[in-house]
Amino acid sequence: MQVVFLPDGADLDALSTAYGITLLYPQAKILLPGAASSSFRLALKHFENLLKDKTIKPDSLKEVDTVFLPDSNNIKLAEKKLSPYLKKDTHFVIIDHHPLRGRLSGNIEKHIQNTGAATTIIVNRIKRSGINITPEEATLLALGIYEDTGSFTYNTTTPKDLRAAAYLISKGADLELIRGIIEERIDQEQIEIIHQLVENIQYFFIKNSRIIFTFAYSDHYIPDISSFLHLIKPLQEADAFFVLVNEKGKTSIIARSKKKEIDVGKIMSYLGGGGHYSAASATVKGLTVQEIKNYIETVLLGEAYKNKTIQEFMSTQIITVKKSSKIKQIKELAEKAPVLFVVNGRGKFEGIVLSKVIKESIRHGIEDIKVENFIIDSIITFEPETTLSEAERVVSSSSQEYFPVIKNGYPVGVINRTYIIKVLHGQVFDSEKDIFISRERIKPRYLNYRSKLEKFLPEHILTELEYIGKLSARLGFNTYLVGGIVRDMVLGKKNLDIDLIVEGDALELARAYAKEKKVPCHTFEEFMTAQITLKTGEKIDLATARKETYTHPGAYPKVEKATIKEDLYRRDFTINTLAVELTEGRFGILVDYFNGLKDIKDRMVRILHQLSFIEDPIRILRALRFAGRLGFRLGRPTEKLLKLAVDENMLELAPTGRVNLELTYTFNEEKVIDILFLMNKYRVLHSLIPEFYMDEKREELLSRLRDTIISFEMFLELKVDRVSNYLMALLYHLPFELSYKFLEKYHFSKTIKFFEEYYEIKDLLEKIPEKDSDLYKKIKFIKKDLLVYICASSPVELAERIIRILKKEGERQLLISGKDLKELGIPPSPIYRKILDDVFKKYLDDEIKSKKEALEYVKKQYLGG
């Protein structure tokens, strides 16, 4: 076969010459280059039809008899590239206008002339041979001549070039098309970039590879950079290169590699791009060229470090403590290292404690407890021989910060997660999470919750939330729906408590909304919160995302603006850390930073860090309230730490107003009994109430109280004071003075009245009258709320009687009224009251059962028949 060989970087003159060759030698097929300039590629596209049957793919190559070299005399290169197909006597034909360097030997035919373009040589031969050419072919041929003579302006132009062109024009060559293609070639700006790239070349050596970094800046977009990189020789010679072109802060990266172990596709994928191991690209915003370079270098180093072992990097300075040590004994050790190793009597590893937790615990005045309370024992450990790449796999799927290194059961070192990631990737993901939490996700999870919002929120509220999202985007803020409403949506429950967190300024957002919608808005500068009222009356709470930091031990927390993640981190439980973004463009995206979704699915209440209950003991009550309400369990460390906080009497330190609120919420929960049983199990009630005990009697009282409340509310249509009733059930063992003290301490002033009244009437029912009408006389002055308690704490039979009486009381008006008496012809007078009371008394005692009987009775008794 006959092949026309075009090397990488071949130009338009070579292409035109190659085509001319195929006209003279119809058997010859063109082998196109792998890389070519943009004008070359443009020409290929324009002349696709002409070239279609004239080219050959590398994989269709067979034994080659003749190789044509258009616009080139580099036989060596052709021999190298085509070597598997060459024969001993393969014939080489050179058609070139460059002077020959050195002597050539072998079976070579040379057509070398001193013309401006190689194409001129081939056109002259075509002209002489009398082959007819079409206007399209004339155009393709002319292209090479125009290109290589700079449209006849270069000094190298000869009369022959002009004559050849004249001939092609006479055959119909399309000059406008030629100009179009030629003008496409590298312009001044691209040359400027090439200069920068050449000047800025930096070498980076790793193992035995030579890698080039180079960069250029431009104030606007430069197309097609990759098409002229072949012009930069050092790049072609390096084992790999990274070209960074920064256009107004956005950096395009082009990467090539000749070695499989330098996988530029993978490296670019870390930067959000992609490609093949040998050719890849990425576009990066928000990082400087230098930062990107540093990043790539560390990744390259990381790849090289992959097989190194942990022992080469770990810190061997470890401090050990005993499980049984008191916190105060290890105060000083905690200053020396971020983690302490807990070991047994023989020095074997049992777990770790975090120094931060020790210090915070002391700050909260808790120092007499043992280390074992804060031990973290279900923990991932490494062996000294673990390789960094094995470690990386573990590290990236765990949120553990410190990894003990253990040999034969003994601690030998420690390495932290950020360090491993830094060695391997040169990037630290997140270092603020220092107090141990098992819950944080390495990468937040995102879900589209738009349809859930549509399902669970009334349309008009959804519309307003979208409006707030738009407004928020306009102000440059991010706004999220957070808290119970999101948790309940995941659980499939309705909740219309709308709490928003604003990354930015909640007050400004609230004011802007109120102004545009002409609705009321209240702001609380000090707390960085605001409340707006929708036109339809619903209220929306907005708060600026914040974090609390302690400036020195014992100080009040300082409130600072923060990110949504930091805001969510200070919340009580993981199930309450979900947020749904409302900002325009991301409306409806749920974000899960702390595995809240998983915990809801697993039905678990978990705190976010070890000191959670100590920092805010109210969370003890909240944990049990959520566990009871939702039927969730406490996570294992959460349970342990809750017990610890109760044992340490932390509830004693909780603000009494907040205890009041939590208990009030509890008594109004549907699952109040479950919650109270949990509060008994974890000795929370014992901690709050003097001499509290739970026995069968109280258990029964509590569940009867719940049933009685339901009966009263259903049949008598009233709202029962649950708080007072349950408090009575929890405090009845105490003498009044002690109950009073408790109620006063926790601000249950309404319940104090309830207790007082109860103790007044308590003895009234010592003797229970037989007739319902007599019983009624006793109870009719007692408040219904008190009757609830009386029913729940009395024998069932009595309770049933009271409820029946109260029901009848409710029906009194239906039985017989003043109007009925008037119709019977009785003139209005105080006798009415006497008659009505009399009838009702008979009704209570079942002597009268209906309105009909009542009327008959009145006629007989008062109208003489």
Q: Structure tokens of 626?
A: 């959520």
* Cross-sheet strand order for the sheet of 209-218: 202-206, 209-218, 240-247, 250-257, 279-285, 274-275
Which residue's Cβ has the minimum distance to ligand ATP?
A: 484
Give the range of 511-519, 616-624, 739-747, 819-827 binding ligand ATP by CB under 6 A: 616-624
Closest to ligand ATP by CB, 277 or 665: 665
- Residue 660 interacts, among Mg ion, ligand ATP, none and using kind-specific CB cut-offs from 5 to 8 Å, with none
Residue type, 571: R
- What residues between 652 and 671 interact with ligand ATP by CB under 6 A? none
Burial of 213 (0-12, 13-18, 19+ CB in 10 A): buried
Among residues 293, 364, 546, 619, the one that binds ligand ATP under rule CB under 6 A: 619
Run of H or E including 730: helix 722-731
Instruction: Supply the DSSP string of 615-678, one letter for each residue.
Output: H-THHHHHHHHHHHHHTPEEPHHHHHHHHHHHHTTGGGGS-HHHHHHHHHHHHTSTTHHHHHHH
Sign, CA torsion 773/776/780/785:
negative
**565 counts as binding ligand ATP under rule CB under 6 A:** no
Closest to ligand ATP by CB, 425 or 619: 619
Closest to Mg ion by CB, 345 or 492: 492
Binding pattern for the stretch 798-837 against ligand ATP, x by CB under 6 A and - elsewhere: ----------------------------------------
Q: How would you classify the pairing of strands 521-524 and 604-605? A: unpaired
Q: Minimum distance between the CB of residue 420 and ligand ATP, rounded to whole angstroms?
A: 32
Three-state SS at 155? coil
Q: Judge whether 13 and 118 are in contact, CB under 8 Å.
A: yes
- What residues between 494 and 513 interact with ligand ATP by CB under 6 A? 495, 497, 499
Residue type, 477: F
Helices vs strands, H then E, count in the chain: 38, 29
**411 counts as binding ligand ATP under rule CB under 6 A:** no
Q: How many Å from the N-terminal Cα to the C-terminal Cα in the chain?
A: 135
Q: Minimum distance between the CB of residue 848 and ligand ATP, rounded to whole angstroms?
A: 49
Question: Can you tell me the distance from the alpha carbon of 43 to that of 31, in angstroms, rounded to the nearest whole number?
Answer: 15
Q: Minimum distance between the CB of residue 499 and Mg ion, rounded to whole angstroms?
A: 7
- Residue 618 interacts, among Mg ion, ligand ATP, none and using kind-specific CB cut-offs from 5 to 8 Å, with ligand ATP
Q: How would you classify the pairing of strands 539-544 and 529-533? A: antiparallel
Q: Minimum distance between the CB of residue 483 and Mg ion, rounded to whole angstroms?
A: 6
Closest to Mg ion by CB, 192 or 497: 497
Q: Minimum distance between the CB of residue 378 and ligand ATP, rounded to whole angstroms?
A: 25
Q: Minimum distance between the CB of residue 665 and ligand ATP, rounded to whole angstroms?
A: 6
Residue type, 262: I
Question: Can you tell me the distance from the alpha carbon of 796 to that of 711, in angstroms, rounded to the nearest whole number?
Answer: 13
**546 counts as binding ligand ATP under rule CB under 6 A:** no
Closest to Mg ion by CB, 461 or 761: 461
State the SS3 of 449-474: CHHHHHHHCCHHHHHHHHHHHHHHHH
> Which residue is associated with the tokens 């294992």?
636
Closest to ligand ATP by CB, 329 or 495: 495
- What residues between 621 and 650 interact with ligand ATP by CB under 6 A? 622
**572 counts as binding ligand ATP under rule CB under 6 A:** yes
DSSP 8-state secondary structure symbol assigned to residue 781: T
- Residue 300 interacts, among Mg ion, ligand ATP, none and using kind-specific CB cut-offs from 5 to 8 Å, with none
Q: Minimum distance between the CB of residue 497 and Mg ion, rounded to whole angstroms?
A: 4
* Cross-sheet strand order for the sheet of 589-592: 445-448, 589-592, 579-581, 478-482, 498-503, 539-544, 529-533, 521-524
Closest to ligand ATP by CB, 127 or 629: 629
**606 counts as binding ligand ATP under rule CB under 6 A:** no
Residue type, 655: P
Closest to Mg ion by CB, 277 or 665: 665
Closest to Mg ion by CB, 440 or 488: 488
Among residues 420, 618, 663, 689, the one that binds ligand ATP under rule CB under 6 A: 618
Closest to Mg ion by CB, 87 or 539: 539
Instruction: Supply the DSSP string of 300-355, one letter for each residue.
Output: HHHHHHTTSBGGGTSB----EEETT-BGGGGHHHHHH-SEEEEE-TT--EEEEEEH
Please give the size of the binding site for ligand ATP, defined by CB under 6 A. 12
**265 counts as binding ligand ATP under rule CB under 6 A:** no
Closest to ligand ATP by CB, 269 or 495: 495
Angle formed by the axes of helices 772-779 and 831-844, nearest 10°: 120
Among residues 46, 97, 425, 571, the one that binds ligand ATP under rule CB under 6 A: 571
- Residue 619 interacts, among ligand ATP, Mg ion, none and using kind-specific CB cut-offs from 5 to 8 Å, with ligand ATP
Question: Can you tell me the distance from the alpha carbon of 865 to that of 859, in angstroms, rounded to the nearest whole number?
Answer: 5
| Contacting positions for Mg ion (CB under 5 A) | 484, 497
- Residue 576 interacts, among Mg ion, ligand ATP, none and using kind-specific CB cut-offs from 5 to 8 Å, with ligand ATP
Instruction: Supply the DSSP string of 84-144, one letter for each residue.
Output: GGEEEEEEEEEEESSPP-S---SSEEEEE---S-HHHHHHHHHHHHT----HHHHHHHHHH
Closest to Mg ion by CB, 541 or 757: 541
**842 counts as binding ligand ATP under rule CB under 6 A:** no
**576 counts as binding ligand ATP under rule CB under 6 A:** yes
Give the range of 180-188, 392-400, 422-430, 612-620 binding ligand ATP by CB under 6 A: 612-620
- Residue 46 interacts, among ligand ATP, Mg ion, none and using kind-specific CB cut-offs from 5 to 8 Å, with none
Q: Judge whether 845 and 772 are in contact, CB under 8 Å.
A: yes
Q: Judge whether 485 and 457 are in contact, CB under 8 Å.
A: no
Closest to ligand ATP by CB, 618 or 791: 618
Q: Judge whether 232 and 209 are in contact, CB under 8 Å.
A: no
**388 counts as binding ligand ATP under rule CB under 6 A:** no
DSSP 8-state secondary structure symbol assigned to residue 593: S
Closest to ligand ATP by CB, 64 or 650: 650
Q: Minimum distance between the CB of residue 627 and ligand ATP, rounded to whole angstroms?
A: 13
Among residues 71, 303, 401, 616, the one that binds ligand ATP under rule CB under 6 A: 616
Burial of 670 (0-12, 13-18, 19+ CB in 10 A): exposed
Closest to ligand ATP by CB, 497 or 744: 497
Q: Minimum distance between the CB of residue 607 and ligand ATP, rounded to whole angstroms?
A: 9
Q: Minimum distance between the CB of residue 570 and Mg ion, rounded to whole angstroms?
A: 16
Angle formed by the axes of helices 38-46 and 12-24, nearest 10°: 40
Residue type, 688: L
- What residues between 450 and 489 interact with ligand ATP by CB under 6 A? 483-484
Closest to ligand ATP by CB, 247 or 548: 548
DSSP 8-state secondary structure symbol assigned to residue 57: -
- Residue 571 interacts, among ligand ATP, Mg ion, none and using kind-specific CB cut-offs from 5 to 8 Å, with ligand ATP
Q: Minimum distance between the CB of residue 384 and ligand ATP, rounded to whole angstroms?
A: 41
- Residue 801 interacts, among Mg ion, ligand ATP, none and using kind-specific CB cut-offs from 5 to 8 Å, with none
- Residue 572 interacts, among Mg ion, ligand ATP, none and using kind-specific CB cut-offs from 5 to 8 Å, with ligand ATP
Q: Judge whether 617 and 606 are in contact, CB under 8 Å.
A: no
Closest to Mg ion by CB, 384 or 484: 484
List residues binding ligand ATP (CB under 6 A). Answer: 483-484, 495, 497, 499, 571-572, 576, 616, 618-619, 622
